[in-house]
Structure 1
């Protein structure tokens, strides 16, 4: 019996010991589990905190991962905005400037943050297998840290993505509105850049960077991926974005030939006035007298006529000297591509840039010579200067009157000079219908000295001038002009002597008519009391 009791006590003791061991084991496991849970959540908190401070650390360059920089050179090489821009600058490439932060640099920054988060998270997980003791003990913390870090980084990435998308939409709307505002303002006044050297036309001029020792030419300063309100050149200089603001501060450049253009080019309407005519037809004398009077008339109505290039300054200075002295100007020297004479006429707060293109008569002896005068193709008004003294019938009367040596006569075929331009334009598909032609008979002062020649000629009536030309050997030319152009005015002018601009034979009448056609507000002479000039002169 005592043995049975001992056996029972031993069994009870063994059971109690087993139960106690199991209880201790369960308690230990519970403590471990609680510790692991605390470590896990602590790791999550640590990962989240690390993730919060990770983006600024990456952007500050304190991590292994550094963002790729969208540099101006990378922009030019096509590694930021693509291989080539669309539209105007397609063949010019991207300007050397810093792109806007969103989305170009922001995307690179975000990629660097993601790379850093991936590296740190994987490093945390890999450390579990580095040391088996610490790995077994602290692996929940490592896992929690990685999960917290990635959750934090991905949340940051998502928030930045949403905010970036909103900013991007706002930027796109701003770019569109600002670009169209600048475009519509300039379009409302017909502003463009017409290069006086290469004769090309564009509504988007280029500009030289004003930075010291910087040679960058910005070919498209309009709002876009390189800046909305302003842009930053690769040299660090800030320049305005929009043609209107850039023209007020920067040197304008022709995007086709890189020639510097006059200040303000591209922000005002340009009226090209190409003069066509044979050698010694009187083109330069006609322009000299007309421009000097135009300047005086502008001043009389509180306006101004300002030369905006060295060539224009010399022309105006020489013209004034010639008019005041009463001398005839010398023959224009022949150049294959003569430079234009830009003058800005300002009246009542409105500006218009007149570009007088006075090519020598040798440029109109055939198609080949006139092909280099590309400005004629885009001009809306053409001035055809005709020497009436060189018409065969009048030339004989001039000889009989003994006046043949008083003035040089036009040389060559005057109708051929007209054809050299008009036939080329037709062959190249240029529409003549919309263009306006002013036929200008010069040397009226000499013509008046020939008895009986100008009895029926009224300088103030275009129909009279037209009929006089038809009756004195120009009938074939008149017929051809009528077939080529719908809008034709006829004038006869006296380019010598001092007279009021209101005199119908003054050359300024022709310039005033050209200005009226371009913009009636730019007229410098009183409004005709009779029928409109175009109707009367086209009769």
Structure 2
């Protein structure tokens, strides 16, 4: 009887139980497969958060990103490389997470249902087989879903990367348009080396960082903001720099690298070179021009502000010299630095560069070749000292009184200075035929004291006639008319009174030079 129960009845009952269990196998398998798929998707989501947001070491498969270009010293914009780098890390981690999760699931079923079950294997093995079926189904269904998410991620990144490049290109176009509107299509003028700078370099604004960024325009290292290696951020466009938050600009040419004006690129630039022989009165005339503008600003005219500390320091010295009716020291023979100032307000602002060059440089051809700033000028000032003309001492008859001091005159013939300087400037490619020339006859105050200056100083034609008839400069005047589109003659007196008021002749001269 016992054998019948053991070998017949028990197997029969077990088979009946198995038959009753079989309908539940698809449900168990489906639930286990669904659970595996959900588990894999949740782990994929955690991996996405870890790679894109948390960025802790366990979510890194590549070394931490660092600026690769030592000249750039900035992090790439996320959509110019790092985004696809994160996608590669996500793909690697998702593959690892998939293999680990599936392997752990199969091992857990094998251990609990087959190797070391908590109950009889007769009960756990069929259940384990159902779980195996579900895990196998989940293992097959999960990769397409995860792959679809990865493809969607890659498609979104591709669209955003393309959008970032389009926005950066559009911003560059807008920036070039603004520069063209400011007549800076070929770049800004460096006041030290006189080369055109397409875009200045800028130092990181961080308090403790001194990294210099060579090209901050929108691109791979930032669309609206650039992130320095130190973590500091800086604007990528000149138009994003407010008046009070403009970064210090630097020349990008390797032989220079010196600081430029802070206002460079933010407004049109005007270059006015002062040409003349040694002791012709260029420096005093330049100081009188600035003093005239300052006086006009104080009485409702265009505002005036010196563009940098060096220009301001030099001007304050010259200003006092003019007020004391003194004589400035000779300009140094080294290449000049521009005396720069901002004139006007709002949209009418202009950054004006005045160049006062040592008179010796207008005699030696090798020296005049170094005056590259003249290529950017469209208005030139030729300072003509009548006392440098031989005919002045032979034909002019001074009025009775103190003799005119010959040591105050220039020793260089104006015709020689003009010929050499025009030849050098034309060789540099300056369009003289489209430029204007203001001829400033200097030291009119001395000539007036001795009765040597004619009346009607404000009349250009009268001054032209005086130069031709009294001083015999017919050839020089004809050469000026030949080379320049427009020539205007002024008789100027670079002197100032105690109230910083300059001679009226300087006011009209400055207005004409800055017109247009």
TM range (shorter): 0.7 to 0.9
Q: TM-score, normalised by structure 2?
A: 0.80
**Structure 1 partner of 2:77:** 100
Q: 1:66 aligns with which of 60, 68, 72?
A: 60
Deviation digits for residues 108-130 of structure 1, max 9, x if unmatched?
Answer: 11111111223344567788999
Give the Cα separation in 2 of the matches to 1:160 and 1:237: 29
Residue aligned with 1:154, SS: helix
The alpha-carbon deviation at position 362 of structure 1 amounts to 1.1
Q: Answer yes or no: is 1:438 the counterpart of 2:438.
A: yes
**Structure 1 partner of 2:86:** 109
> 150-159 or 399-408, which moves further after superposition?
399-408
Residue aligned with 2:146, SS: helix
The alpha-carbon deviation at position 266 of structure 1 amounts to 2.3
Q: Answer yes or no: is 1:160 the counterpart of 2:153.
A: yes
Change in CA separation of 1:318 and 1:381 when aligned onto 2, cut-off 3 Å: same
Give the Cα separation in 2 of the matches to 1:180 and 1:278: 44
Unaligned runs of 5+ in 2: 1-11, 116-124
Q: Answer yes or no: is 1:323 the counterpart of 2:300.
A: no
User: Contact 1:50/1:149 (CA < 8 Å) preserved in 2?
Assistant: no
**Structure 2 partner of 1:362:** 360
Give the Cα separation in 2 of the matches to 1:62 and 1:204: 38
**Structure 2 partner of 1:299:** 298
Deviation digits for residues 319-350 of structure 1, max 9, x if unmatched?
Answer: 33223222232322322x12221122235773
Deviation digits for residues 30-55 of structure 1, max 9, x if unmatched?
Answer: 67974666655554444334333332
**Structure 1 partner of 2:415:** 415
Give the Cα separation in 2 of the matches to 1:287 and 1:32: 101
**Structure 2 partner of 1:510:** 509
Residue aligned with 1:306, SS: strand
Give the Cα separation in 1 of the matches to 2:158 and 2:324: 71
User: Contact 1:432/1:484 (CA < 8 Å) preserved in 2?
Assistant: yes
Q: TM-score, normalised by structure 1?
A: 0.77
Q: 1:265-284 alignment to 2 at 5 Å?
A: 265-284=264-283
**Structure 1 partner of 2:309:** 310
**Structure 1 partner of 2:217:** 222
Change in CA separation of 1:425 and 1:325 when aligned onto 2, cut-off 3 Å: closer
Residue aligned with 1:507, SS: helix
Give the Cα separation in 2 of the matches to 1:399 and 1:311: 43
The alpha-carbon deviation at position 364 of structure 1 amounts to 1.0
The alpha-carbon deviation at position 361 of structure 1 amounts to 0.4
The alpha-carbon deviation at position 276 of structure 1 amounts to 0.7
Residue aligned with 1:512, SS: helix
**Structure 2 partner of 1:89:** none
The alpha-carbon deviation at position 465 of structure 1 amounts to 2.0
Across the aligned residues of Structure 1 and Structure 2, the Cα RMSD in angstroms comes to 3.7
User: Contact 1:253/1:259 (CA < 8 Å) preserved in 2?
Assistant: yes
The alpha-carbon deviation at position 482 of structure 1 amounts to 2.0
Give the Cα separation in 1 of the matches to 2:223 and 2:453: 64
> 193-202 or 400-409, which moves further after superposition?
400-409
**Structure 2 partner of 1:340:** 338
User: Contact 2:269/2:350 (CA < 8 Å) preserved in 1?
Assistant: yes
Change in CA separation of 1:67 and 1:303 when aligned onto 2, cut-off 3 Å: farther
User: Contact 1:380/1:434 (CA < 8 Å) preserved in 2?
Assistant: yes
**Structure 1 partner of 2:288:** 289
Give the Cα separation in 1 of the matches to 2:36 and 2:347: 72
The alpha-carbon deviation at position 63 of structure 1 amounts to 8.1
Change in CA separation of 1:414 and 1:62 when aligned onto 2, cut-off 3 Å: closer
The alpha-carbon deviation at position 384 of structure 1 amounts to 1.0
Task: Work out the number of aligned pairs and report it.
Answer: 477
Q: Answer yes or no: is 1:53 the counterpart of 2:46.
A: yes
Give the Cα separation in 2 of the matches to 1:297 and 1:63: 66
Deviation digits for residues 137-165 of structure 1, max 9, x if unmatched?
Answer: 56645544443442233222222233334
